[in-house]
Amino acid sequence: MQLDDIVAAVRAAHDRHTPLRIRGAGSKDFYGGLLAGDVLDVSGHRGIVAYEPTELYLTAKCGTPLADIEAALAEKNQMLAFEPPRFGGATLGGCIAAGLSGPRRQQAGAARDFVLGVRLVDGTGQVLDFGGQVMKNVAGYDVSRLLAGSLGTLGVLAEVTLKVLPKPVAEATQVFELDEHDAVARLNAWGGRPLPISASFWHDGRLWLRLSGAGAAVEAAQRALGGEVAVDAGKLWESVREQTHPAFASPVLWRLALPSTAPDAGLGTPAAVEWGGALRWYAGEQDAARGAAARLGGHAVLYRAPESLRCREGAFTALSPALLALHRRLKKAFDPKGLLNPGRLYAEF
């Protein structure tokens, strides 16, 4: 599949006023609003376009599997530092469109922080280029990062350029027996110290803490923090990243992004806590989730749920009138007829 094929498909849909549902591997069909429109399968538009290990950037087409990208990076001992979930076959385009990050987001930053540039096919079939291959090329409005998390509502991400980083020299994981409140308190206390913490995960009375960096720094942190050394920790972090851990097993799952110091949300015991206390997962229907998150200075996402509940609740917190007006103007600028992934981000567009 070539870029011209994507352009032709979008232009044809634009001329016929036909809504399109952009799809790579479909690994995140559960996420966001309801799926609508004719499927535009971009999985065939794949391949690494450029990779410069010494310059720490990689450019690939939207249908390129993350597994292929990570294999190429591993040969140079490099990585996607935000640890995006693969979910069994995720593509680069879907990864950035969804904007999801894994356990290392606590230390490295979010998916959007690693986007240097994009090639976008807008809702009229026009090819647009934003950003570049190094941070200093980003000037004016940072549209490249705006597209991260937009769920394909502003255009088809034909190519993406990402910043990559070297893998840490050493890693170790410590385990602590703590309840939720003590775990969050400890995480906040540790967060104020110069410790090489790259990930944290609390579930069912146990807190796992991953340390990454120079060997001496990791060893010193282990001595300072105590706890038990986790056995086979790689499998644990893989299960957290891919959400195959039992903490994520519920068919209804809420994701609350909060200040790390936020107190109990009043929604019962979380299924899991990540990112130093800033990401908290709750299982089951939670009628008070959005209100609790807003009260604590964060926001709630109905991350996974049956279609009937997603239809009733909406995946994301409703926008204020001012923000809704801004989103509508952006949608109008990039997709004038509102044909790309309609309703996937918000029902209003």
Q: Above 60 in pLDDT, residue 349? A: yes
Q: Is residue 58 part of a domain?
A: yes
Q: Above 60 in pLDDT, residue 136? A: no
Domain coverage including residue 105: 3-166
Q: Above 70 in pLDDT, residue 140? A: no
3-state secondary structure of 290: helix
Q: Above 80 in pLDDT, residue 252? A: yes
Q: Is there a single domain that holds both residue 101 and residue 201?
A: no
Q: Is there a single domain that holds both residue 135 and residue 195?
A: no
What is the per-residue pLDDT for 41? Answer: 98
Q: Is there a single domain that holds both residue 97 and residue 31?
A: yes
- Cα end-to-end distance, the chain, whole Å: 28
Q: Is there a single domain that holds both residue 90 and residue 54?
A: yes
Q: Above 80 in pLDDT, residue 55? A: yes
Residue 1's alpha-carbon distances to 186, 283, 341, in angstroms, are 51, 40, 20
Report the pLDDT averaged over residues 255-259.
Answer: 97
Who's near 80: CB < 8 A, 6+ residues apart? 66, 69, 70, 73, 114, 162, 164
What is the per-residue pLDDT for 313? Answer: 87
Q: Is there a single domain that holds both residue 279 and residue 240?
A: no
127: region left, alpha or beta (phi > 0 left; psi from -120 to 50 alpha): beta
Q: Is there a single domain that holds both residue 237 and residue 284?
A: no
Confidence of residue 133 (pLDDT cuts 50, 70, 90): low
In contact, 84 and 58? CB cutoff 8 Å: no
Confidence of residue 311 (pLDDT cuts 50, 70, 90): confident
In contact, 186 and 176? CB cutoff 8 Å: yes
Q: Give me the DSSP letters along 53-94.
A: TTTTEEEEETT-BHHHHHHHHHTTTEE-TT----TTT-BHHH
Q: Is residue 190 part of a domain?
A: yes
Q: Above 70 in pLDDT, residue 253? A: yes
What is the per-residue pLDDT for 157? Answer: 97
The predicted model scores a pTM of 0.94
Number of domains in the chain: 3
What is the per-residue pLDDT for 312? Answer: 86
Q: Is there a single domain that holds both residue 56 and residue 147?
A: yes
What is the per-residue pLDDT for 132? Answer: 74
In contact, 153 and 340? CB cutoff 8 Å: yes
Who's near 62: CB < 8 A, 6+ residues apart? 24, 42, 45, 46, 91, 92, 93, 94, 156, 157, 158, 159, 160
What is the per-residue pLDDT for 310? Answer: 87
What is the per-residue pLDDT for 35? Answer: 92
What is the per-residue pLDDT for 170? Answer: 98
Mean residue pLDDT of the chain comes to: 95
What is the per-residue pLDDT for 134? Answer: 55
Report the pLDDT averaged over residues 219-231.
Answer: 96
